[in-house]
Structure 1
């Protein structure tokens, strides 16, 4: 294995097809070049560490992780808002996640996501109706980008008249995750910081209003709480709401865009989905394995020495878990580079695993199922205009920046 494998993985030129690099990486399941992070690429090793309490997700432990090329970005982000539960360890993580989950899913709110199905259908249909010229459609700009942020606004209870402001904030913060190399980094950080401040101030005002006049939305339930030990502080609530907007939005955009790109590269599967919308359920699971929106989990820190395949990872080391490589590990999945929505036993890591598994997984799955089945039904003979399309530079949140397609028309 060449010593520059991590540099090549991080190189934006590799973004259209990083999978040959992951295959190379798996030849050394615990890769370490002597200075950088320890990089794990095999399914069973990663699954084990995702459940291992000796691996810390707390961003405050990153100071001990020298040589990690992504650690600085994580620490910079962590200074702008209080850390979300995604970047905390138990018991803080467990308390915050439990309270955030109460109005979002089982056991307290088992129908929260499923009850949104009709609203999701309406948003999707409205976006497709508004496409206009079918000669050249940018599926990212016109569909997969605005869809999830609108859903998050409805979930939180953001007034309809304020949704456009959320779209601007989401766009600005997304750009900060995928910086233009020709742009002034100081100006970019200033703009992103301003957007975070504006978002925080808006949410703080909305939280206080919901505490006084609660409604039937998730933000109201989080703001009111359930007793002294089951109520988020304003800062904790701000961090949780920002997590839903930023992390939830970007992953769902990539899931839908990667999904449509994969379907257009597999027209037989696209035809099957058009004929049988029920295929969307297993199809989305295979997409999460085959083209996961989150490619790797970087900058985790070992709290003690850990041995993996005979290699000792010392305490205080930075660890990367390459989920996308694990999802194509031939030790776990037969013929892993084949896209097969009828694949059996598909316990992928596309949404993580363990205590930090994707908080918004039920909603992301439903959004992708509704979006892809409706696109398959209504777009007449869709085709790619560029393959590969232009990709975002981000190595963690991987997806096309634009997806130019054409079609012969829009079915009613």
Structure 2
């Protein structure tokens, strides 16, 4: 590539530990056009929020103008139909409604709430396993296995298959990691996505023959007014739900522990005041969002925003993490403050594509962070910054080595201290 542009610097793995100075530079031009690719990066809060609600912004890559370039490899390929997050209304709305039937309102309004006890047991068991040790990698031993166990239970994926799909998911995520020479990564990601789809297709058939109480069983057997997803739609969206259902929460928990350890007063407040769990997670979603940017958007018409006209068919990136620290929206935005009065973040997006699993992610984050803060005594970092995963989109530590004196007894997070609302 030619000389390193601001977007290319953001994509560089060297920036992963602290991309925020680059986001600060990006916000000087609210709509920044990357000269080498024609990408328009939108980095200020109100402009991002406006575009997330604008029907002239498409999530469907098929609307990209011919010849338009992307610095990131695609998450998907033409071998499967686009998932709901890569479609526009009304197709998006139909698939989202069908996927929501066994997960949340209006048909399953208590689904996430009723999982709370089981989630609490899973996270307490993972922390129990640290007893007798004084060091741990909180990614490998807590932040990763917790949401994986939850999404496996929810979807109906055998937990013992995790080693198999972890390799595939890692390759899929690596396929959207960076710009530059990623041809081999793209091929590997596409092969991995197809292999994961084949694996899930087998599970779908098993659940069709012998349905259970899980989401895959419901999606393959439930017949509502709108019918069911086609088999290929179901498989494609099952891949999405399995990957997105744990990848972002791993980062939420790992980023959360790291941020709390860098802000010991917030860690102590969470430990001693369980009711602060809700605000702590909301501020984390603002301060260190697991999804840093939405890179695959396209204009369906010329759009004027912040004094700049983005032409029809142009690639648009919505820089959520930059918007979450916009000083025009948040006072003292680079300070982690769970007690701030207004935390209307962009961590779950906004509009029709707001995060499908937000209620579950919130509960997982609240339970995990309180469990860690309240039970690992004298918790401290071994390495700061820790090593990061390469993806600029799904950003979080690859490992999080910590030390602690002992593991205290489990004290459940009071139910009123965990929110599941979207």
TM class, shorter-length: over 0.9
In the alignment, the residues of structure 2 paired with residue 180 and residue 125 of structure 1 have an alpha-carbon distance, to the nearest angstrom, of: 39
Q: What's the counterpart of residue 20 of structure 1?
A: 21
In the alignment, the residues of structure 1 paired with residue 336 and residue 160 of structure 2 have an alpha-carbon distance, to the nearest angstrom, of: 41
In the alignment, the residues of structure 2 paired with residue 312 and residue 31 of structure 1 have an alpha-carbon distance, to the nearest angstrom, of: 11
Q: What's the counterpart of residue 348 of structure 1?
A: 345
Task: From the superposition, tell whether residues 358 and 42 of structure 1 become closer, same or farther in structure 2 (CA, over 3 Å).
Answer: same
More displaced, 125-134 or 291-300?
Answer: 125-134
Following TM superposition, by how much is the alpha carbon of 1:261 offset from its aligned partner in structure 2, in angstroms?
0.2
Q: Provide structure 2 residue ranges, at least 5 long, that are not aligned to the other structure.
A: 410-422
Task: Judge conservation of contact 1:138–1:402 (CA < 8 Å) in 2.
Answer: yes
1:269-296 residue CA offsets vs partner (Å, 9 max, x unmatched): 1111111222111110000000001111
In the alignment, the residues of structure 2 paired with residue 44 and residue 278 of structure 1 have an alpha-carbon distance, to the nearest angstrom, of: 30
In the alignment, the residues of structure 1 paired with residue 108 and residue 52 of structure 2 have an alpha-carbon distance, to the nearest angstrom, of: 26
| Mapping of residues 140-219 of structure 1, within 5 Å | 140-178=139-177, 186=184, 192-219=189-216
Query: Which residue of 40, 43, 48 maps to 1:41?
Result: 43
Residue 8 (str. 1) matches residue 5 (str. 2): no
Following TM superposition, by how much is the alpha carbon of 1:342 offset from its aligned partner in structure 2, in angstroms?
1.1
| Mapping of residues 340-379 of structure 1, within 5 Å | 340-379=337-376
Residue 408 (str. 1) matches residue 409 (str. 2): no
Task: Judge conservation of contact 1:274–1:373 (CA < 8 Å) in 2.
Answer: yes
1:153-211 residue CA offsets vs partner (Å, 9 max, x unmatched): 000122455455444544454454548999x964x556544543343223222222322
In the alignment, the residues of structure 2 paired with residue 66 and residue 377 of structure 1 have an alpha-carbon distance, to the nearest angstrom, of: 50
Task: Judge conservation of contact 1:145–1:253 (CA < 8 Å) in 2.
Answer: yes
Q: What's the counterpart of residue 115 of structure 1?
A: 114
Task: From the superposition, tell whether residues 355 and 181 of structure 1 become closer, same or farther in structure 2 (CA, over 3 Å).
Answer: closer
1:13-38 residue CA offsets vs partner (Å, 9 max, x unmatched): 11111111111111111111434311
In the alignment, the residues of structure 1 paired with residue 93 and residue 264 of structure 2 have an alpha-carbon distance, to the nearest angstrom, of: 43
Following TM superposition, by how much is the alpha carbon of 1:65 offset from its aligned partner in structure 2, in angstroms?
6.1
Task: Judge conservation of contact 2:8–2:179 (CA < 8 Å) in 1.
Answer: no
Greater fraction helix: 1
Task: From the superposition, tell whether residues 131 and 64 of structure 1 become closer, same or farther in structure 2 (CA, over 3 Å).
Answer: farther
Q: Provide structure 1 residue ranges, at least 5 long, that are not aligned to the other structure.
A: none
Task: From the superposition, tell whether residues 20 and 191 of structure 1 become closer, same or farther in structure 2 (CA, over 3 Å).
Answer: closer
Q: What's the counterpart of residue 291 of structure 1?
A: 288
Task: From the superposition, tell whether residues 29 and 377 of structure 1 become closer, same or farther in structure 2 (CA, over 3 Å).
Answer: same
Query: Which residue of 296, 300, 305 maps to 1:308?
Result: 305
Task: Judge conservation of contact 2:251–2:395 (CA < 8 Å) in 1.
Answer: yes
In the alignment, the residues of structure 1 paired with residue 329 and residue 263 of structure 2 have an alpha-carbon distance, to the nearest angstrom, of: 23
TM-score scaled by structure 2?
0.90
Task: From the superposition, tell whether residues 167 and 132 of structure 1 become closer, same or farther in structure 2 (CA, over 3 Å).
Answer: farther
SS of equivalent to 1:229: coil
Q: What's the counterpart of residue 102 of structure 2?
A: 103
Task: Judge conservation of contact 1:62–1:299 (CA < 8 Å) in 2.
Answer: no
Aligned length: 406
Following TM superposition, by how much is the alpha carbon of 1:3 offset from its aligned partner in structure 2, in angstroms?
7.8
Q: What's the counterpart of residue 416 of structure 2?
A: none
After superposing on structure 2, the runs of 4+ consecutive aligned residues of structure 1 that deviate more than 6 Å are 179-182
Task: From the superposition, tell whether residues 263 and 95 of structure 1 become closer, same or farther in structure 2 (CA, over 3 Å).
Answer: same
In the alignment, the residues of structure 2 paired with residue 65 and residue 340 of structure 1 have an alpha-carbon distance, to the nearest angstrom, of: 44
Query: Which residue of 218, 221, 224 maps to 1:224?
Result: 221
Q: What's the counterpart of residue 124 of structure 1?
A: 123
Following TM superposition, by how much is the alpha carbon of 1:394 offset from its aligned partner in structure 2, in angstroms?
1.0
- Aligned alpha-carbon RMSD (Å): 2.3
Task: Judge conservation of contact 2:71–2:179 (CA < 8 Å) in 1.
Answer: no
Query: Which residue of 51, 67, 70 maps to 2:69?
Result: 67
More displaced, 118-127 or 361-370?
Answer: 118-127
Task: From the superposition, tell whether residues 67 and 133 of structure 1 become closer, same or farther in structure 2 (CA, over 3 Å).
Answer: farther
More displaced, 126-135 or 337-346?
Answer: 126-135
More displaced, 320-329 or 168-177?
Answer: 168-177
TM-score scaled by structure 1?
0.92
Q: What's the counterpart of residue 387 of structure 1?
A: 384
